Amino acid sequence: MHDFMDYCLRTYFKTIGWNDDNQYSNLCSASRAILDFQTPRGLTFAISKIQFPLLKASYSMNISPILNGSLGYLFTSRPLKVDPSDHVHFMEMIDRFHINYMPKNYPYGNFDNSSDDSKSIGDYLLYGRLFVPTGRLEAIYSRRFSQWMQCVVTAVSDPRSKAASHVTTELQYDVGQWCTELSYTTDGELFGMRGLYNFASYNQEEINSNSNNEELIVQNKMRKKNNDVKAPLVERNVFDVPPESEYDEEVEALKGEWSIGAELYYGVRERSGGVSAGIRYRTLPQFSSQSPLSVTYLINPIMGHMSAAFAAQVSDDLALCPRFDFNMYSYESDLIIGAEWWQRERNEIEGQSSDDAANKNISSQGEVNGIVKATVGTSRGVTLLWEGKYGKTLFSLGLIADLTSRISPIRSIGLQFQYFS
């Protein structure tokens, strides 16, 4: 589960219209949400306060296994719509499987000051977090330069280890169809360049005519299910020509987005570099008859490492993802399988008329109030996570176990509580 500051950071980028999922570093965000989730360790309490729309504060304390804590502050140039924990949308607080598609109709070569995105030009963000008693300091500064460009500077200062202290500067340029990133890190004097290009099998008019509202997508799915129930069963010869509606569904099933990207980096201090490339195919939420899925493949030819993942939502509340890693030089491999189950508030809907019997006792799509994640892998064992909401408090319960160990099968267990107002 995202902490309060991470939730505010995501809200800020969403407010200014910046899509982090269009970056090469987030090419595998769909599979990572199911497989690479973080579990709490020990007992942690986090209390946050919305001082006023421009300033937020957060305080956390870890009681077990060691006593430590942190305090952080976030300031933004524009007000953020952040709800307290008792009214917050639970789906925005969890790292879940989803396909975040934000189409941009930017006029290439022309800048329109009357557009909505022009209002976010010049916006900035300041964030700082201090850990006690270690004295570790983390800071983030983000600045929007233009309709397509922003700069993000992150810094870490650790008095216990000077080697861990570093500053990273990232310049991001995103026009929707492609995105580039230039970065520099003082740790090792590392220069990097990333790029991502999207190939879409749809027309822009189809994107504009289709809605990206999740509620409308759910209604279309329920309407499609009702039509399937009402449709009579008719025997058909295999040589019969299928109806036009089936042709439309087959064509619509091919609509998606292909993305290819690459990364180059070089360390001046170590005089060594690297390269990686990746490809992704994902469906788009605008075409609601498709089941959301994301397929990714990454390869690092210098290290000989490759990774393939397939994430799909098999039902309204269940998402599955397997990932296979393999090294061409050492022949080492790893297989991990994960699942994500959403817990909803379900209500029974009675039919409005006796003639429409198919609509009786159909469970409606209620709001998500909990999520359960589980992974099992050949190298890291079993990981379980349960996140939910109890009253005005958000909680996370995690467990990491190694079933092959006879001495200590449970590696760690943790519980975290969050409250903000």
pLDDT 10s digits, 269-294: 888 889 999 999 988 776 656 788 89
More confident site: 313 or 231 = 313
Helical segments of 315-415, H only: none
Position of tokens 């397929």? Answer: 295
Q: How many angstroms separate the Cα of 263 from the Cα of each of 27, 196, 237, 298, 329? A: 12, 9, 52, 11, 21
Domains of the chain with bracketed CATH: 4-420 (2.40.160.10)
Indicate left, alpha or beta for 127 from its phi (over 0: left) and psi (-120 to 50: alpha): beta
Side chain identity at residue 36, one-letter code: D
Report helix, strand or coil for 29: helix
Q: What is the 3-state secondary structure (H, E, C) of 304-318?
A: CEEEEEEEEECCCCE
- The pLDDT confidence band at residue 52, using thresholds 50, 70 and 90, is confident
Give the residue from 389, 385, 406 showing the smallest Cα distance to 40.
Answer: 385
- The pLDDT confidence band at residue 390, using thresholds 50, 70 and 90, is confident
Whole-angstrom distance, CA of residue 77 vs CA of residue 29: 28
Q: CA 281, 152, 106: angle at the middle one, nearest 5?
A: 55
Report helix, strand or coil for 284: coil
Mean of the pLDDT values across residues 175-179? 89
Please enumerate in sequence order all residues whose Cβ is within 8 A of that of 265, keeping only pairs 6 or more positions apart, or say none.
Answer: 190, 191, 192, 193, 273, 274, 275
pLDDT number for residue 213: 44
Please, is 408 exposed, middle or buried when counting C-beta atoms within 10 Å of its C-beta (0-12, 13-18, 19+)? exposed
pLDDT, one tens digit per residue, over 329-381 is: 999 999 999 999 998 886 655 444 444 444 443 445 678 889 999 999 988 88
